[in-house]
Structure 1
Amino acid sequence: MIKILKSHQSPTMGRGGPFQIRRMRPGKVYGVPAFDLAFGPLSVIDHATLRANNLVPMHEHLNDEILTYLISGKVTHEDSIGVTENITRRRLMLMNAGSGFSHEERNSGEDLEGLQIFVRPREKDLPPGVQFYDRPVNYTNGTWQLVAGPESSDAPLKFRNQVMVFDIHADAGAELEAPVAKGMSPFVYVMNGTVQVGNTTLQKGDAFTFTELEMPIMRTLNQAIIVVFLSDLNAAASKSGTISGGGG
């Protein structure tokens, strides 16, 4: 059975302002009351926009694993360990906040849009750090790309828990099966475009999971970006994170 989380079911913060976030709690896809709406270690997905020439000032995170995934624009990252880097559609970043990590983000020249993905680490107060990944030139070629995964995986960016992130940039008319991994449950997000799953049409900002043994076929009705999260729902995880540790 397919379970759907529509875009309008997630609250938007900063509406009309320069920095706008629609905050998804992926466990809400099951549609049942729960104090903790995480999807295993996958806790929060913020679909964010930031207008050009704005700053998100320096702030601290504790025990959050934070993947920054852009589809447009550029942001300059500065942090408490002295790193300054530009983040773009091709250059991704994963912050492992651990026992404490501060950062700020400044964009100039153009608006940006992307996701900030918050994962709970396997335990609290691990060493802090930051990782970067330059995507291959052909990453928009219509095939699934592994962006991030557990330390034991061959993913280019490493979460310190059992979560994987894949994406695909697909043309109209593509028929797709999402990646799968043993012991992991899927949360599928339509980042851009329109996707049909069975008799259901999903628009930008909608998401779904499924309980069947086989992944349903997705059909793109126009150009689309789809992000697939695989999460071990039974993995041990710390709930002490600044953002990822939250309940409802």
Structure 2
Amino acid sequence: MIKIINHKQMGKSERGWLHSIFHFSFAEYYNPKNIHFGVIRVINDDIIDAQSGFPTHPHQNMEIISYVVKGTLSHQDSMGNMKELTRGQVQYMSAGKGVTHSEYNLKDDPLRILQIWILPDKEGYEPNYGDYNFNWDERVGKWLEIVSSTKGNAPIKIHQDINVFVTELKEGESISYKLEEGRQAYLVQIEGQGSINGVLIDEKDGVEIQDESMITLKAITQSHTILFDMREN
């Protein structure tokens, strides 16, 4: 089953400096039928205006991934980490027993990031931070695995049975992905327009994928996509 979630029908928030689309219930957007998909609790598509951002705030018992789409993300946390990340780079923070951090756009251009929260396989882990500077070309025309479980092979490993891939396709190019038995997936069309198993997907749309053994993406325009492969509910 392929279910397209049109981004125009998603939750939204406008806070002056922050412009957000919520794939799942978050902040002022609450839909009891749309709390999560599998172990994904949050996917927020955030645009942060220049010289603004999130001041220091706490997190606990959540695996947090930030994927930079455009601009520069400046991170600082209570574990002593300070980092700037740019397009295509990935930051990971296991909040575990508790951590505080800030995220800012200190540049003069807008910053677009995907803020992703994944439920951990248990609570109470020691807080941890990591980031990775992926070469952009590693995702062009192929799947680049950016996140896996602690037993997986990705450079960034989290406390959950989930694999995260990204790809960029040229106009007219196609790529397939096999879902093993007992697995489901969620996909975000980050940039561009494409189709999945022949069904049109627009920029910023989400896709729930269940009871499918194979999916095929085709780029209608140049296309940038992220895919989450996880156990079924």
TM-score by length of structure 2 reads 0.90
Task: Tell me which moved more, 3-12 or 65-74.
Answer: 3-12
Contact residue 146 and residue 165 of structure 1 kept, 8 A: yes
- Equivalent position of 2:102 in the other structure: 104
Aligned residue identity for 1:105: E
**Residue in structure 2 matched with residue 55 of structure 1 by the alignment:** 53
Q: Which residue number corresponds to residue 129 of structure 1? A: 128
Native 8 Å contact 2:179 2:213 kept in 1? no
How far does residue 181 in structure 1 lie from its aligned partner after superposition?
A: 4.3
Give the aligned partner of residue 9 of structure 1.
9
> Is the Cα–Cα contact under 8 Å of residues 179 and 228 in structure 1 kept in the other structure?
no
Distance 1:198 1:138, change over 3 A: closer
Q: Which residue of 81, 84, 94 corresponds with 1:86? A: 84
After superposition, residues 1-248 of structure 1 pair within 5 angstroms as 1-14=1-14, 17-25=16-24, 37-107=35-105, 108-234=107-233
Residue type at the aligned position of 2:217: M
3-state SS, counterpart of residue 177 of structure 2: coil
Q: Percent of aligned positions with the same letter in both sequences?
A: 24
SS of alignment partner, residue 58 of structure 1: strand
Q: Call closer, same or farther: CA 1:90–1:214 in 2, change over 3 Å.
A: closer
How far, CA to CA, are the matches of 1:140 and 1:161 in structure 2? 23
Gap change, CA 1:34 and 1:60, over 3 Å in 2: closer
SS at match of 1:40: coil
| C-alpha distance in structure 2 between counterparts of 1:179 and 1:52, whole Å | 40
Note the C-alpha offset of 1:105: 1.3
C-alpha displacement of 1:9: 2.3
Q: CA deviation at 1:137?
A: 5.0
CA deviations on 1:94-149 (whole Å, 9 max, x unpaired) are 00000101101121132111201100011112110101111125224221100101
Shift of 1:214: 2.9
Match of 1:145, as an amino acid? L
Query: Matched residues in 1 for 2:212 and 2:168: separation?
Result: 25
Show the counterpart of 1:237: none
Choose 91-100 or 194-203, whichever is displaced more: 194-203
Q: Is the 8 A contact 1:47 1:115 kept in 2?
A: yes
Q: How well do the aligned residues superpose, as a CA RMSD in angstroms? A: 2.0
Moved more, 178-187 or 52-61: 178-187
Query: Greater CA deviation, 43-52 or 211-220?
Result: 211-220
Q: Which moved more, 1:206-215 or 1:169-178?
A: 206-215
CA distance in 2, matches of 1:45, 1:77: 18
Q: Is the 8 A contact 1:69 1:116 kept in 2?
A: yes
After superposition, what is the alpha-carbon deviation per residue over 1:143-185, rounded to whole angstroms, capped at 9, x for unaligned?
1100101110011111101111101011000122135345321
Matched AA of 1:166: F
Residue type at the aligned position of 1:9: Q
